């Protein structure tokens, strides 16, 4: 990158080439994205067209108009409409919430997706990772023992049991990644179906070698209800009910004894070479900025495409985050019923928001807006890029067992912990998490690989961001960055700790969705 362009205070004139200081993503776009903070009065020269003068400063990551846009007309980024002009917008003006609104989706342009046919690699040509073969289901990338509370009333006991197993006590079991407590704040009144399904998914998860279910005894959906929901048992599960055992202390002692019996069994598992087709990978984003849809999300999309080619599964989620771009994804569906499932979930979210006097454009966070994202459509167009360009083969409800191979979608909220909990309960054994503003997100039992949208973020949070996708802004091909990310997927799936794992993050993020009216 031009070193002068990266330091506005060092500019010797008030004129710069547009391409040196901003990025136009598509020839049809009405805006360009500022690479750096741009001062008022800066003159931007173009290869074609008259120079543009900025009447006001444009912050890094924000948009500037390249052409006149009449009030009420769509404005394009990514080659697609991202909203309607609130007023006339002149070339050079800063484009953001003051002059751009989401508007009604039906007033925006039609969106034509690009769908890539998939030619799966033959089994002998597929890449491998060192994972744990399980008697049933997919392979694991980790080998945990999980202590799972069925209700918040048993959460304290579950934690005491798990925290007994310190690294020193586990030293004799080198093949066990740890004993984790997965607890939650739910009680008895609502959310039974989703909670039961989520807990059952964790009990049967490929990264869980054995589990202990801890209940109080009087909850609506207790230990036995979760066991009945569980997928075909292929690994040891023990039950513990506090009221049956006479209270907290005897329950904790019984739980510790049960895990001490399970540890030698779990330790007998060892990593072997397995094809990438054994993986189900969650695709997630959090703390997005204007560059997320330019670098990090498209890089993950390329990796998603390659995982599908390898015979694996990529699970896109966060239904409110695709609002306004759902028709792109629906058009990638392999059948009308699959497309209808997706659209039905988006409609449900629209009605759910209206019941609380909200609209889905309010799904943008303060950090999203500060990073340059103006409307939910703009955010959504960037978010769906994580799914790549392969056909959408299935749509799942929250925490449903994901059995299909290829690109699938799961209905979840946009809140990262709740969304990832559903994806992991559905069977994902690894998470690709893009961020533009920065995140310290981790998740157990599935390792999280975080991809930063800019080099500045990568340098600012070196202990948290695994991969710098911002190099694509400096001329490195997206395909090259994606190849590096795929190598990182293989390494982490084979046992190398991700940045969040190395810092011990990920146990507190377990958050089952608790909402009525969703199945």
CB of 60 closer than 8 Å to CB of 37? yes
Tokens linked to 348: 């449900």
Instruction: Give dist(CA 294, CA 342) in Å, integer.
Output: 25
Domains of the chain and CATH, by start: 8-107 (2.30.130.110), 129-272 (3.40.50), 287-497 (no CATH)
User: pLDDT per position in the chain (519 positions), as tens?
Assistant: 333 344 554 455 688 899 888 888 778 889 999 988 999 999 999 888 889 999 999 998 899 999 999 999 888 887 778 888 999 999 999 999 999 987 664 444 344 455 566 788 888 889 999 999 998 889 999 999 999 999 999 999 999 999 999 999 999 999 999 999 999 988 875 557 899 999 999 999 999 999 999 999 998 878 998 888 876 556 799 999 999 999 999 999 999 999 999 999 999 999 999 999 999 999 999 988 888 988 999 999 999 999 999 999 999 999 998 887 888 888 889 999 999 999 999 999 988 888 888 766 555 567 767 777 777 778 888 888 899 989 999 999 999 999 999 999 999 999 999 999 999 999 999 999 999 999 999 999 999 999 999 999 999 999 999 999 999 988 888 899 999 999 999 999 999 999 999 999 999 999 999 886 676
What is residue 273's predicted lDDT score, i.e. its pLDDT?
97
Contact 96, 85 (CB under 8 A): no
DSSP label of 437: S
Rounded (10°) CA dihedral 212, 217, 222, 223: 30
- By DSSP bridging, strand 237-241 and strand 272-275 are unpaired
pLDDT at 111: 46
CA–CA gap between residue 223 and residue 274 (Å, rounded): 33
Residue 455, helix vs strand vs coil: helix
What is the Cα–Cα distance from 182 to 169, expressed in whole angstroms? 20
3-state secondary structure 116-179: CCCCCCCHHHCCEEEEECCCCCCCECCCEEEEEECCHHHHHHHHHHHHCCCHHHHCCCCCCCEE
How far is CA 108 from each of CA 114, 248, 369, rounded to the nearest angstrom? 19, 59, 21
Buried b / exposed e along 192-228 (16+ C-beta atoms within 10 A):
bbbbbbbbbbbbbbbbbbbbbbbbbbebebbbebbbe
Q: Where are the alpha helices (DSSP H) in 13-151?
A: 18-21
**Distance between start and end Cα atoms, the chain:** 50
Q: How far apart are CA 387 and CA 366, in angstroms?
A: 25
- The pLDDT, as a whole number, for residue 451 is 98
Q: Please tell me the predicted confidence (pLDDT) of residue 178.
A: 97
Rounded-to-integer distance, Cα 255 and Cα 249, Å: 10
Residue showing tokens 């991202």: 82
Count of beta carbons in the 10 Å neighbourhood of residue 303 = 26
Note the pLDDT of residue 188: 76
381-411 residues labelled b (16+ CB within 10 A) or e (exposed): bbbbbbbbbbbbbbbbbbbbebebbbbbbbb
Token pair for 11: 């500019």
| pLDDT score at 3 | 35
Order of strands, sheet of 63-65, starting from the edge strand that comes earlier in the sequence: 22-23, 31-34, 63-65, 94-95
Bridge partners (DSSP) of residue 434 are: 285, 451
Tell me, what's the pLDDT at 392? 95
Distance (Å, whole) CA 194 – CA 156: 22
Q: Check residue 233 and give its pLDDT.
A: 54
Label the pairing between strands 63-65 and 74-77: unpaired
């Amino acid at each position: 990158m031009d070193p002068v362009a990266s330091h506005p205070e060092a500019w010797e004139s008030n004129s710069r080439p547009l391409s040196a200081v901003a990025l136009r993503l598509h020839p049809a776009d009405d805006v360009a994205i500022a690479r750096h903070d741009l001062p008022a009065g800066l003159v931007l020269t173009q290869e074609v067209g008259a120079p543009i003068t900025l009447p006001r400063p444009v912050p890094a990551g924000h948009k500037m108009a390249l052409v006149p846009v009449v009030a009420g007309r769509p404005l394009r980024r990514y080659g697609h409409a991202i909203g309607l002009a609130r007023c006339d917008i002149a070339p050079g003006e800063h484009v953001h919430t003051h002059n751009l609104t989401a508007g009604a989706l039906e007033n925006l342009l039609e969106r034509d997706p690009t769908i890539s046919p998939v030619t799966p690699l033959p089994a002998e040509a597929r890449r491998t990772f060192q994972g744990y073969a399980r008697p049933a289901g997919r392979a694991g990338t980790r080998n945990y023992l999980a202590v799972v509370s069925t209700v918040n009333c048993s959460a304290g006991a579950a934690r005491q049991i798990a925290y007994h197993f310190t690294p020193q006590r586990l030293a004799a079991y080198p093949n066990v990644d740890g004993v984790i407590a997965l607890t939650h704040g739910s009680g008895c009144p609502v959310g039974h179906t989703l909670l039961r399904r989520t807990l059952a998914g964790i009990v049967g998860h490929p990264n869980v070698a054995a589990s202990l279910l801890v209940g109080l005894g009087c909850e609506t959906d207790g230990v036995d209800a979760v066991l009945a929901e569980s997928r075909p048992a292929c690994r040891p599960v023990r039950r513990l009910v506090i009221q049956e055992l006479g209270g907290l202390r005897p329950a904790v002692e019984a739980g510790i004894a049960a895990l001490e019996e399970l540890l030698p069994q779990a330790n007998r598992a060892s990593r072997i070479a397995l094809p990438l087709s054994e993986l189900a990978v969650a695709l997630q984003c959090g703390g997005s900025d204007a560059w997320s849809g330019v670098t990090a999300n498209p890089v993950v999309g390329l990796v998603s495409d390659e995982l599908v080619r390898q015979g694996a599964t990529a699970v896109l989620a966060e239904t409110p985050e695709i609002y306004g771009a759902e028709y792109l994804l629906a058009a990638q569906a392999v059948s009308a019923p699959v497309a209808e499932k997706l659209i039905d979930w988006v409609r449900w979210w629209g009605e759910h928001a209206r019941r609380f006097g909200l609209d889905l454009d309010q799904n943008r966070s303060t950090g999203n807006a500060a990073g340059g994202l103006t409307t939910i459509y703009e955010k959504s167009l960037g978010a769906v890029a994580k799914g790549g360009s392969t056909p959408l083969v299935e749509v799942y409800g929250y925490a449903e067992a994901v059995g299909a191979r290829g690109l699938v979608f799961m209905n979840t909220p946009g809140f990262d912990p709740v969304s990832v909990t559903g994806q992991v309960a559905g069977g994902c054994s690894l998470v690709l998490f893009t961020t533009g503003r920065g995140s310290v997100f981790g998740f157990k039992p599935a390792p999280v690989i975080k991809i930063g949208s800019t080099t500045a973020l990568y340098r600012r949070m070196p202990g948290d961001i695994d991969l710098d996708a911002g190099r694509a802004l400096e001329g490195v091909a997206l395909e090259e960055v994606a190849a590096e990310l795929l190598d990182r997927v293989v390494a982490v799936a084979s046992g190398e700790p991700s940045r969040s794992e190395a810092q011990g993050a990920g146990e507190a993020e377990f958050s089952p969705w608790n909402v009525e009216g969703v199945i």
